[in-house]
Amino acid sequence: MTTAALEPRAGRRCHNMLNSLHATHYFSPDLGRELGAVGITDPRAVNFAVRAAALGPVGAGAVTAAFYNYKYELVARHVPTVWETAAPGQVLAARARAVDATLRRLLGEEALASAEMAEAARLALRAAEACSREARPLYAAHADLPVPEEPHLAYWHAATLLREHRGDGHLAVLMSAGLDGLEAVVTHTATGKGMTPKWVSTTRGWSRKDWEAATDRLRGRGLLAASGDLTEQGVALRREIEHETDRLDRAPYEHLGPQGVARLTELGGAFAHAALVAGAFPADLIGKGDA
């Protein structure tokens, strides 16, 4: 019997649905409350702590390398001193409480206890079985964490594994394309699908001067037009970056198979849509905005 081939963008579509739900906790008031309870109150320190905690009490250099598109000087303001306030284990426990509260608030108790949530967790965890640790530090660190017992937390955990697996591979592709962290963000924003410059500055620490310098470099390479839009060459580069990222991230979705991927995309899309409707994200988060 011949096994049906996975459609080229199927993994990307599935990842996008899972990543949407994973990302809700970064914008959740529950996260600020739970991290505040362990002494971490600065929103940017919260962001660094919750995503890097699985790595252990690492320094600013390791966090900047793993995150790729944050300004080192911003990271160094908060890392490694954040670990003096709360150890990584405390941060991970606080994050788990925040994720639990966030999903209950956005999706409701009925969805969390549903057969669909349990099925989504099983499918996502099965896909994650085929992820690889090599050259993927954020994925590998999270893969060492235990799988939560409750289905909605297991689903979020699996979504995190798949998100960081793809993300680590994506960074390798960006480096190969010759884009530094900020240049990668500028070109992504220029597609209309990335964060607005306001949110990049707020969360990543880049100034207007930094943004303009990156823009000038990209124009010099023929990737950005004077208008700030991508040129044909820039569009082609971003397309190739996504295709190569898909290639490096294909194994989990091939392991799950076309039917499993389609079902997980359907289930993940329903949960992501419910979270979006419930106001999970700021209205001005995505778009070209004003540089």
Note the pLDDT tens digit of each residue in 134-144. Answer: 999 999 999 99
In a domain, 39, yes or no: yes
In total, how many domains does the chain have? 1
SS3 at position 279: coil
| Sequence-separated (6 or more) residues with CB below 8 Å from residue 141 | 54, 55, 56
Alpha carbon distance 262, 80 (integer Å): 41
pLDDT digit string, tens, across residues 97-123 = 999 999 999 999 999 999 999 999 999
Alpha carbon distance 229, 250 (integer Å): 30
In a domain, 288, yes or no: no
Alpha carbon distance 72, 135 (integer Å): 21
Q: Please say whether the beta carbons of 229 and 219 come within 8 A.
A: no
Q: Please say whether the beta carbons of 260 and 91 come within 8 A.
A: no
In a domain, 200, yes or no: yes
pLDDT digit string, tens, across residues 63-72 = 999 999 999 9
In the prediction, which pLDDT does 195 show? 86
In the prediction, which pLDDT does 2 show? 41
Residues 203-208 have a mean pLDDT of 93
pLDDT band of 291, cuts 50, 70, 90: low
In a domain, 194, yes or no: yes
Cα separation values, 179 from 64, 68, 141, 246, Å: 15, 10, 25, 18
The first and second tokens of residue 227, run together, are 């208008």
The first and second tokens of residue 170, run together, are 């994506």
In the prediction, which pLDDT does 189 show? 94
pLDDT band of 1, cuts 50, 70, 90: very low
* CA diameter of the chain: 59
In the prediction, which pLDDT does 90 show? 98
pLDDT at 226 exceeding the cut of 70: yes
In the prediction, which pLDDT does 290 show? 65
The first and second tokens of residue 83, run together, are 């670990």
Cα separation values, 47 from 91, 146, 237, Å: 11, 21, 29
In a domain, 174, yes or no: yes
Cis peptide before 146 (omega within 30 of 0): no
In the prediction, which pLDDT does 199 show? 87
- Cα–chain center distance at 15: 10
Residue 43 belongs to domain spanning? 20-278
In a domain, 10, yes or no: no
pLDDT at 284 exceeding the cut of 90: no
Residue that is written with structure tokens 């660094």 in the block: 48
The mean-pLDDT minimum among 40-44, 153-157, 202-206, 220-224 falls in 202-206
pLDDT digit string, tens, across residues 242-266 = 999 999 999 999 999 999 999 999 9
In a domain, 138, yes or no: yes
pLDDT at 155 exceeding the cut of 50: yes
In the prediction, which pLDDT does 287 show? 82
pLDDT at 8 exceeding the cut of 80: yes
Alpha carbon distance 268, 243 (integer Å): 22
Residues 28-54 have a mean pLDDT of 97
pLDDT at 3 exceeding the cut of 70: no
In a domain, 45, yes or no: yes
